[in-house]
Structure 1
């Protein structure tokens, strides 16, 4: 969990730096990122449910 929080903080810092330098981010649009988040959550959900059942 610590690595995810670190990744989020670094991403926020880089995003702020891009804004300050007036650079366009190479990241995909927010819709694509929401889809990716859903995929990652879905991937983690099945093992979680299996652990809860057993």
Structure 2
């Protein structure tokens, strides 16, 4: 979890720097990032549902 927070903080810092310097970010478009987020969510759905079913949580 700590690595994720450090990564997020570094990303925000670089984003702020790009904004101050008026430089366009080389990151993919927002729609691509949202798609990646959806892929990560979908990847974790089946194990989560299996866990819920094993515990009897409905």
Same fold (TM over 0.5): yes
- Partner of 2:7 in structure 1? 7
Deviation at 1:3, TM superposition (A): 2.4
Q: Could you list the runs of 5+ residues in structure 2 that have no partner in the other structure?
A: none
Report SS of the residue matched to 1:23.
coil
Q: Which has the higher contact order (CA 8 A, sep 6+)?
A: 1
TM-score (normalised: structure 1): 0.81
- Partner of 2:47 in structure 1? 47
CA distance in 1, matches of 2:18, 2:34: 21
Root-mean-square deviation (CA), in Å?
A: 1.2
TM-score (normalised: structure 2): 0.77
Greater CA radius of gyration, 1 or 2?
2
